[in-house]
Structure 1
Amino acid sequence: MTLRLYINHFWLLNKHHRSSSGCKAPSRTRSPMDSSFLLALVAVALPVLLHLLRRAKKPRGKLPPGSLGLPVIGQSLGLLRSMRANTAERWIQDRVDRYGAVSKLSLFGGPTVLLAGPAANKFVFFNSALASQQPRSVQRILGDKSILELMGADHRRIRGALAEFLKPDMLRLYVGKIDGEVRRHLGECWAGRRTVTVMPLMKRLTFDIISLLLFGLGRSPLQDALANDLARVMEGIWAIPVDLPFTAFRRSLKASARARRLIAGITRETRDKLERGEASRSSDLIACLLSLTDDTGAPLLSEDEIVDNSIVALVAGHDTSSILMTFMVRHLAGDPDTLSAMVREHEEIAKSKGDGEALTWDDLAEMKFTWRVALETLRLVPPIFGSFRRATQDLEFDGYLIPKGWQVFWAASLTHRDAAIFHEPAEFNPSRFENQSSAGAPPCSFLAFGAGPRICVGMEFAKIETLLCCKEDTFARDPMPSPLHGLPIQLEQKASPCP
């Protein structure tokens, strides 16, 4: 830009010189004075231009240690291989041991800064200059109007709308529905069987619960179609976003489009029911979102926003909860002491209930030990391994520059398995959480539900879902944890307690 200004200035001077000398057309010869002026211009402008180019390329600060690796590929393949081999925590920790709590690398095509430790987590979750960064495949499949993609006022508006559905007063109304689904599921899929495979059963249970509460869908061909589409959606969310025939990403896009049309149809039907008085704000998520208005009385959310965020709620409320419950079962199968303590807690609650009487919100509040088991499971096997943010401006952390546009990556295991934070971190010990939900650890150390303005809006709902003889201890991340063979276990009928 500076060179262009010099040249323009030179051209104007020559134009003025030609005009004042009465020239009618540009001369093909240049005077010695013109040539000297041009050489002087170049001599001045070239160093300025080179300085600007160097300044544009060279970051204004000290980059973290580490290497960006090969172009595009970077360290992505190494991380993915370690996740599938269940060594991702070790892979991340090796980088921290080598470079420290702040290091640079390249993941999924972008320069990235890996941050470790409670202070780093606080920086990630509470810094407004770090935007949520989802893989491109996630954005295309789940939509660009979801809570995962929005920032600022739009994010607060969507989050506030979802929080209306998930606030305690509303959740109290859903406990009976969830208890009914669990009872039906246990009777159909568990009772009278000697062996079951836990993971697929938990996925179906949580899907039945979430589709009932979000859309009012009971067991039906429509629900089955949505379940099949959700399975296809999940296959492509973390796939390479290449939209070609026969790829998982293409199948996921098509399944997402079908699910989107189905939910849009449910949204229109629910709007009609609300107008006729056949549904209320507390009927389900769609009814709740349609009932919300802004200060002018206009709908708070558009139909596209309702559809996109319903799909996100469907994925979040189904997948992470089923993973948590599966790994709780996996641990309890090999820990008779913890299992016995949980059974005693449930039996105490059962004594106060009549035959067939549903659990209530107050009953859930008594399941303190069960929830501690869930939290300890989340500490050791967090469903979300980590996630990305994107720097919207140049930032500094711990003396290092994070350039604008770079990714910032955090991983839960870096604090969840830190011996300086959690004593004997490899040991399963629910008593860590007796006093407070974060086990007395420093703030931003226990990250099962995130932290800050983007802390999981469905945390209380996940708690409700969770509360309501395979010895192999192996699982892989793809990218979420999945137990080997779906976790087959043997069932034993428990004898009724003595009166």
Structure 2
Amino acid sequence: MEWFLIFLFLSFLFVILLSLQTLFYRQKTIISSTNLPPGKSGWPFLGETVDFLSTGWKGHPEQFVNDRMIKYSQECFKTSILGESVAIICGPMGNKFLFSNEDKLVTTWWPDSVNKVFPTSLQTNSKEESKKMRKLLPQFLKADSLQKYIGIMDSISQKHFTNEWENKKNIIIFPLAKKYTFWVACRLFLSINDPNHIAHFANPFNVIASGIISIPINFPGTPFNKAIKAANFIRKELKLIIQQRKIDLAENKGRNNEDILSYMLSVRDENGKNMNEMDIADKILGLLIGGHDTASVVITFIVKYLAELPHIYDLVYQEQMEIAKSKAPGELLTWEDIQKMKYSWNVACEVMRLNPPLQGAFREAMSEFIYAGFTIPKGWKLYWSAYSTHRNPKYFLEPEKFDPTRFEGSGPAPYTYVPFGGGPRMCPGKEYARLEILTFMHNIVKRYRWEKLVANEKVVVDPFPTPAKGLPIRLIPHKTT
């Protein structure tokens, strides 16, 4: 173990030295700018990356932003993260500014670690690929299109509880939530419904999640290296699925556009060319990660809060049982049933306020501009954080209190509640996640009450918030008559 740590340290030092020339150039650019936001850049190369990540590891993800808002500015402060100069834009006005200036003053940006785990075509870049994806997704992820999938989600949820929960006394929630959401994603995106096939490449997705937002050191044993290997493995699996689907479509064994994969195989660009297999594999890989990681986090924390707050559980149970009693034996949930789950969704929204699965996101300044009286140089990265508003007493009375009634009526003030982002870059899977989460809530409260087995389990963020031990619980099945 010692030799590996020494090797890792020397390798890390080498990367730092290679980066000095670029950093010195950036420093000249920074010095030449006037009236930059207040803040500090931290160590060479590392900047404040360790502080940014470690507050999440320690269970206080909001601390990095909140401490600096108090010290420097409530509107904007500077830092250095992942080797980049970053201005963190805070508060509802900051959120509104970034969301409304997409592709005007700012554009999408991902850290190098993301681009290397998800490489795009040599002829394009990640920004262009993102725009293409946003043209593809609405057909499948808008509310009208998703209505036909509610019964499928309900059926998968029922099978999941039968296979994974039935006749068990103690279980760990987070890995089971991931199994459920991954099964739904595989079924709806790829039409894969075989549990053995799904399990074959489910575990590598956990490895990818841990390495996406990490220091991009590609040496054996690092989270970044593991994420690249896991992504390559999944791409190979996806290519096999894609090749088989092409054969099936050619032989009329599948219906065109029955899922996202079939649609990608049939769509043509402005030059009349189909997407190549590797591009499709990369896009499906990204969708599978986005389609199950964040929803599984929300489901896990819903279970956590319903265990801690029995009066909230009782109200969810009452709402869901009214729906259950209106159904004939074997009848699946419908769109009309989902619309009746208003209180349950308020509970999910409050969960996402306190533990947003998406902590924030990066942008890049397309040109120099002024924000809140501060100069933001061209090329600087910008970051919005859900924690600058979600737990801020300015915008949420008693912000640490779990209160689903915050979302009744008109709900929170605009741009204060941003678990799905906003503007043109708002998460296109918001409605998909809502259906998936509510279907799970319906099926779990019909079957069980439960108790937490770890009283004060720490929450860590790496890169998504999760209970440190995965939330072990004791199941208490409802008595049947």
Query: What per-residue deviation string (whole Å, max 9, x for no partner) do you get for residues 302-327 of structure 1?
Result: 43332211111100111100000000
1:358 aligns with one of 294, 310, 332: 332
1:120 aligns with 2:120: no
Letter in 1 for 2:307: A
Query: What per-residue deviation string (whole Å, max 9, x for no partner) do you get for residues 3-61 of structure 1?
Result: xxxxxxxxxxxxxxxxxxxxxxxxxxxxxxxxxxxxxxxxxxxxxxxxxxx99674343
1:448 aligns with one of 414, 419, 430: 419
1:141 aligns with one of 98, 117, 121: 117
1:284 aligns with 2:259: yes
How far did residue 170 of structure 1 move? 2.6
8 A Cα contact 2:90 2:388, kept in partner: yes
Per the alignment, residue 479 of structure 1 pairs with 463
8 A Cα contact 2:86 2:383, kept in partner: yes
How far did residue 145 of structure 1 move? 5.4
RMSD of aligned residue pairs (Cα, Å)? 2.3
- What are the equivalent positions in structure 2 for 1:171-190 lying under 5 Å apart? 171-190=146-165
Looking at structure 2, the residues matched to 263 and 453 of structure 1 have their Cα atoms a distance apart, in angstroms, of 29
8 A Cα contact 1:68 1:74, kept in partner: yes
- Show structure 1 runs of 5+ residues with no match: 1-53
How far did residue 155 of structure 1 move? 3.9
Per the alignment, residue 215 of structure 1 pairs with 190
Per the alignment, residue 107 of structure 2 pairs with 131
How far did residue 233 of structure 1 move? 2.2
Per the alignment, residue 234 of structure 1 pairs with 209
Looking at structure 1, the residues matched to 169 and 146 of structure 2 have their Cα atoms a distance apart, in angstroms, of 34
Percent identity (aligned): 33
Letter in 1 for 2:156: E
TM-score (norm 2): 0.86
2:318 aligns with one of 344, 366, 370: 344
8 A Cα contact 1:475 1:484, kept in partner: yes
Looking at structure 1, the residues matched to 292 and 252 of structure 2 have their Cα atoms a distance apart, in angstroms, of 30
Per the alignment, residue 83 of structure 1 pairs with 56
1:63 aligns with 2:47: no
- What are the equivalent positions in structure 2 for 1:82-481 lying under 5 Å apart? 82-100=55-73, 101-127=75-101, 128=103, 129-144=105-120, 150-151=126-127, 155-293=130-268, 298-299=273-274, 301-436=275-410, 439-441=411-413, 443-468=414-439, 469-470=451-452, 471-481=455-465
How far did residue 297 of structure 1 move? 5.6
Deviates further, 485-494 or 282-291: 282-291
Query: What per-residue deviation string (whole Å, max 9, x for no partner) do you get for residues 233-286 of structure 1?
Result: 223223332222333322321221121122122222222322332212453220
Q: Secondary structure at the match of 1:241?
A: coil
How far did residue 448 of structure 1 move? 0.5
How far did residue 456 of structure 1 move? 0.3
Larger Rg: 1
Looking at structure 2, the residues matched to 482 and 309 of structure 1 have their Cα atoms a distance apart, in angstroms, of 26
Letter in 2 for 1:246: G
How far did residue 355 of structure 1 move? 1.2
How far did residue 464 of structure 1 move? 0.8
| Closer, same or farther: CA 381–65 of 1 in aligned 2, 3 Å | same
Deviates further, 416-425 or 376-385: 416-425
8 A Cα contact 1:215 1:286, kept in partner: yes
8 A Cα contact 2:177 2:299, kept in partner: yes
Letter in 1 for 2:176: L
Looking at structure 2, the residues matched to 433 and 57 of structure 1 have their Cα atoms a distance apart, in angstroms, of 43
| Closer, same or farther: CA 80–164 of 1 in aligned 2, 3 Å | same
Looking at structure 2, the residues matched to 78 and 239 of structure 1 have their Cα atoms a distance apart, in angstroms, of 13
| Closer, same or farther: CA 145–356 of 1 in aligned 2, 3 Å | farther
Letter in 1 for 2:49: S
| Closer, same or farther: CA 237–156 of 1 in aligned 2, 3 Å | closer
How far did residue 96 of structure 1 move? 0.4
Letter in 2 for 1:83: G
How far did residue 350 of structure 1 move? 1.0
Deviates further, 212-221 or 117-126: 212-221
8 A Cα contact 2:37 2:374, kept in partner: yes
Q: Secondary structure at the match of 1:151?
A: helix
8 A Cα contact 1:195 1:491, kept in partner: yes
| Closer, same or farther: CA 282–362 of 1 in aligned 2, 3 Å | farther
| Closer, same or farther: CA 421–56 of 1 in aligned 2, 3 Å | closer
Letter in 1 for 2:179: R
How far did residue 389 of structure 1 move? 1.3
Deviates further, 91-100 or 472-481: 472-481
Deviates further, 254-263 or 199-208: 254-263
Looking at structure 2, the residues matched to 463 and 80 of structure 1 have their Cα atoms a distance apart, in angstroms, of 28
